[in-house]
A and B are shown apart, each in its own frame.
Chain A
Amino acid sequence: MMKELFPRKQVMGFVFSLVLTAVALLVYFMDMSFAVGMTILLVTAFIQAGLQLILFMHAGESEDKNAIYISIYYGMIIAIFTILGSLLTMVWTYQIQ
């Protein structure tokens, strides 16, 4: 009975998100290269965001979960293309100094 009432998933998720925060903080306190630091930040940020959406904002639990997931994927695709495209245009291949 108690086992069913105990929000096991949420507590685990909370602990996990604390761990992710701690890992991200390492970038500040440890001495590492820009590339490694950025990679850690990006990876932890995306896992963190997913955790929040699915576990704490209940993205997959309602009837319209399809609409929710479609808009999340749509937004992610647009964001990734916009960022990569901007980097490509403004930094990686920009020819005027």
Chain B
Amino acid sequence: MEFFERFAIPHPSPAIYASMVAIGLVTIAIIFGLTYFKKWGYLWREWLTTVDHKRLGIMYLISAILMLFRGGADAIMMRAQLAAPENKLLDAQHYNEIFTTHGVVMILFMAMPFIIGFMNFVVPLQIGARDVAFPRLNALSFWLFFAGAMLFNISFVIGGSPDAGWTSYFPLADNEFSQSVGTNYYMIAIQIAGLGTLMTGINFMTTILKMRAPGMTLMKMPMFTWSALIANVIIVFAFPVLTVALAMGTLDRLFGTHFFASTNGGMDMLWANLFWVWGHPEVYILILPAFGIYSEVISTFARRNLYGYKSMVASMVIISLLSFLVWVHHFFTMGQGALVNSIFSITTMAIAVPTGVKIFNWLFTLYKGKIEVTTPMLYSMLFIPLFTIGGVTGVMLGMSAADYQYHNTMFLVAHFHMVIIPGVVFAMLAALFYYWPKMFGFMLNEKLGKLGAWVIAIGTLLAFMPMFFSGLDGQARRMYTYSESSGFGIWNMISFVGALGLAIGFALIVYNIYYSFRYASRDIGSDPWDARTLEWATHTPVPEYNFATMPQIESVEPFWDDKKNGKKLFKDKIEKIHMPNNTGIPFIMGVLFFIWGFSFIFAMWIPLIIFTLAIFGCMAYQSFENDHGRYISVEEVEETENKLGGKR
């Protein structure tokens, strides 16, 4: 292709030109707004250069919610196209791009930052730390994730989006069949974001192992911290596989190697293998912290301690091992023999055992609890039956012989949405409502919140239950249309109505945020839910140093014991506090990586070399910089504490 041709969109349509104009206008509006209200300095000092885990957490959450709406728009377009047979709303190429970006955006740029955002905000508070182990690395993680996400998101207006599915199987993803730069976007953008995630994994493993408050042994850690630890262990062991696979794919597409080609000794199935060696543990990276959130919420609102703490921990450790032993069940139909399929069927079903242990632990926690149905609790209660539908159909898919019937149909699509939406999305929404007062100092409206939860739950059922039926009838996934005589029309129409229901549900949450921001009371104290763990023991808003003095931990629920059993948490006197300085390097590196990735995608080698050198320059500068952080004096800490209502 000619150099400039590559920047054109392969399938121009009015919708895409309209988006181009919209992106341009929004960018101008943001720049104008920041200048008009003189917020550039504030933005730079307080947010872009921050290394504070709480602010990074909030930035992750904002990105996740933005990406939720980007991926949601994709979903609505897909369901609208399929709502009627022989529909002409989207052409085949456009539809391919939309389901590809929907998958990538929802998994990597929505679910991941949601989870990492809550890990960032909650984990250091739960273990009584002042920040994570490597605050600057944490900022770099965020900016790499953000650069990757933004790079991926501009693909549909510059050069065309990837169109080979979120799994990007070769040989389809090779140059021969995917000629536009779309799949280059996939390889490079995910690579950059993945590097950020890998750094997060290392960072949080170190934080949780090394920075717990005095007295907090491993078996006294709150359950969300445990789930974060396990998830980060899985990140550290699984993400390098993705890094390598993406690098090999990039070499194939841009440098003419034949790792995944079907000719010259290449092996196209090796991509599928490597992708799922990462991809299946990734599922557990998402679901385990979500389970951690449910554990916190259920124990708080059942007003009793979590049932079966040790078995919860043990089942997560077992899941972390088993999650690496099941990946072949994603491609039972691709040519390996019955022996291999049987082996991986058995490991797949084995993983249902520790998961079942967790479900029963929650049920036993609810049993004899004084259940209070708040919005986060409502999401947790809705999670159990809805997730079970996804789980049971998962066991059906896990039987390799039967899988030949379900593979690549809407049945599979229905299954993983029924797992991910109740499992991960409900948990994130529960966490959003649960931690909102700690983050922003006011509570979200309960009435609107519960209405939203019901609308989203019903929308989920309406959108995905019909797919089980049309899938069993043989509707293939990733097909942009179907004939009227197939009889799929009615199921897909119901799905479309469900998708609209989900859109209304999420709109209700946005309205709830607006409504509560305007009208909610700011006088809520620091522990509005009467919770049990350490993150509620500090002030709201949380001071930058988190805790004025280190808490002394004696049990799993130290804050509860402090409140009800008179075991004092904070015994020390205030001393000066050592904190890290802000730094602009991570943000600058994020920008450099963005341009570096863009140059790579379009094979512009000279800018690529320049920006590679610039990135190494930043790393060298960071290595030789002599910055020992700063101290907050005792007077300053006392002043802050008094302003927030006195030292605890």
Contact = CB atoms under 8 A, between A and B. Distances in A.
B270 A90 contact: yes
Contacts of A85: 325, 327-328
A81 B280 CA distance: 14
B248 to A, nearest CB: 14
B325 A67 contact: no
Specify which of A64, A71, A74, A78 lies most central, judged by the most chain B CB atoms within 10 Å of its CB.
Answer: A78
A80 to B, nearest CB: 10
Contacts of A86: 273, 277
B339 A90 contact: no
Interface residues of A, number: 18
A88 B277 CA distance: 14
Given A89-B336, A90-B267, A95-B336, A81 B324 contact: yes
Contacts of A74: 233, 237, 321
Contacts of B325: 81, 85
B270 A78 contact: no
A57 interface: no
A78 B321 CA distance: 7
Contact of A78 (B237, B269, B335, B343): B237
Nearest to A83: B277
Given A81-B325, A86-B277, A89-B328, A94 B336 contact: yes
Interface in B339-361: 339-340, 343
B324 A82 contact: yes
Contacts of B321: 74, 77-78
A96 interface: yes
A90 B324 contact: no
Contacts of A93: 336-337, 339-340
Contacts of B241: 82
Contacts of B209: 64, 67
B237 A95 contact: no
Nearest to B209: A67
Interface string A58-78: 000000100100010011011
Nearest to B274: A86
A89 B340 contact: yes
B73 to A, nearest CB: 37
Contacts of B343: 88
A89 B328 CA distance: 8
B233 A96 contact: no
A86 B331 CA distance: 12
Those 7 A-B pairs whose CB atoms lie nearest each other, nearest first: A96-B335, A93-B337, A89-B336, A78-B324, A93-B340, A95-B335, A89-B340
Interface of A: 64, 67, 71, 74-75, 77-78, 81-82, 85-86, 88-90, 93-96
Given A90-B273, A95-B336, 13 more contacts: A64-B209, A75-B237, A78-B237, A85-B327, A86-B277, A88-B336, A88-B340, A88-B343, A89-B340, A90-B269, A93-B339, A94-B336, A96-B335
